[in-house]
Amino acid sequence: MRFGKQKGDLDRQSQRLSEYCAKKKYNVGYIIKDVGSGLSDTRSGFNKLSKLVIGRKINKIIIEHRDRLTRFQYKFIELMYMSYGVEIIHIEKIDVSEEEDLVTDLVSLMASFSGKLYGRRSAERRKIKKKII
């Protein structure tokens, strides 16, 4: 999930998940939309979701893909949430090989670190401009 043009994708994803829940007759108590990198553990939506799990306020999490919840450590998070009685259901069951999964993870890491690097450079340039003005 990203900013900009991808915002519409987030809305369409939310619509697909809502339709899935309606078909299954699930009572939807919370809809959490999180815009940010699945590599970040500081996303407000992810933190809110974890608090709901720990507070035993939910028993199911419906996501489209595993990487929508987190990019890494999915199995750990799934195990932790299951220990609170929460089932994670990902509706898009795409079978990928371990190699494809590894390549996807590596590309995600490179994109994340590149973004951080460019963000730092941009921040440094803004600081320099402020000093000059």
How confident is the model at residue 2, as a pLDDT?
30
Indicate the domain borders of the chain.
Answer: 1-93, 95-133
Which residue is associated with the tokens 């199995």? Answer: 75
108 vs 97: CA distance, rounded Å: 17
Instruction: Please report, for residues 23, 35, 71, 78, the alpha-carbon distance to residue 38 in angstroms, rounded to integers and kept in the order given.
Output: 27, 9, 5, 15
End-to-end CA distance of the chain: 36
> CB-hemisphere CA count at 13 Å for 126?
6
pLDDT for 39 equals: 58
Cβ–Cβ < 8 Å for 63, 91: yes
In order along its 133 residues, the chain shows pLDDT tens digits of 233 345 677 788 888 898 999 999 999 999 888 776 665 667 888 889 999 999 999 999 999 887 778 877 888 999 999 999 999 998 876 666 777 767 776 776 777 677 777 777 777 777 777 777 6
CA distance 99 to 90: 21
Q: List Cα–Cα distances, 92 to 17, 21, 30, 107, in angstroms.
A: 10, 13, 20, 21
The CATH number for 1-93, chosen from 3.40.120.10, 3.40.630.10, 3.40.50.1390, 3.40.50.300, is 3.40.50.1390
Helix (H, G, I), strand (E, B) or coil at 35: coil
Cα distances from 93 to residues 5, 43, 66, 125, in angstroms, run 25, 25, 9, 44
pLDDT of residue 23: 93
